[in-house]
Structures are given as C-alpha cells and as structure tokens.
Amino acid sequence: MQCPKCHAPMRTYNRSGVRIEQCGGCRGIFLDYGELEALTQLESQWSKPAPPAPPAAPQGYPAPSAPAWGGSTRKPPGRRPGGFLLCGRYWD
C-alpha cells in the first residue's frame, strides 16, 4: 500500500503479533482497526519498556534478524552512524 500522507510505499512489520505498516518515506505508521488496542493491551502486559518502532531497514531489503530485546536502528545524535564504534570510550 501507499502512504496516505507522502505516497511512498509502505512496508509491513510484525511487532509482537501485531502487523504494522510503516512508510519508507516519512516513517509514518498505519494501524488497522483494533491494532492500536492490541498494542495498548500488549504494552500493559509488559512492565519493561517496549521495543521502539520497527527498524529503519534500507529500502527494498528485509532487515536482518535481531533478538527480542533489540531496538530500532537510530542515528546516534550528532554522529555519523557507526562512527562511535571507532571511539575507544565505548570499549575500554
């Protein structure tokens, strides 16, 4: 389907059994009838922070698998992604 806002193609992700459509362009999320309630219900079952939004996979490629505790891919603020990996502060 196409994003109703920016008309870019939307991709389907499965988060904890709930299917979510996310726009590859503006990253907006589309929920079917009842899915918001399903997510709210899931959230209430978890006392821990829920995994954030679906991963920002490169366009047209499926994201590689990740563990259940994995989060979304986000750009570290003010840095090029991956650049921090070269900063010894995070290893030693």
Partner 1 sequence: MNIVPILVAHARAAYPHRAAVPTTLADRPDATVVRLGDTVVKAHAPGTDPTHLARRLDTAAELPGVLLPPLTPAAENLHGRPVTYWPYGTPVDPTAPAAAPWEAVATLLARLHRCAPHSALPPMRGPAKAARAITRLRAALRTAPHPAARPVLDAWAALPAWARAETPMPTPQAVCHGDLHLGQVVRHPAPDGPWRLIDVDDLGLGVPAWDLARPAAWYACGLLPPDDWTRFLAAYRRAGGPAVPAHGDPWAALDVPARALSAQTAALAITRALAADRPLDGIERAVVDACARMPAP
Q: Which residues bind partner 1 (CB under 8 A)?
A: 48-52, 55, 57-58, 63-74, 76-92
* Between 41 and 72, CB nearer to partner 1: 72
Nearest to 71 by CA among 79, 60, 63: 63
Q: Please give the helix or strand (H or E) that residue 29 lies within, else none.
A: strand 29-30
Please report how close the Cβ of residue 78 comes to partner 1 at its closest, in angstroms: 8
* Between 32 and 43, CB nearer to partner 1: 43
12 CB-near residues (< 8 Å, 6+ apart) = 19, 20, 21
Please report how close the Cβ of residue 4 comes to partner 1 at its closest, in angstroms: 27
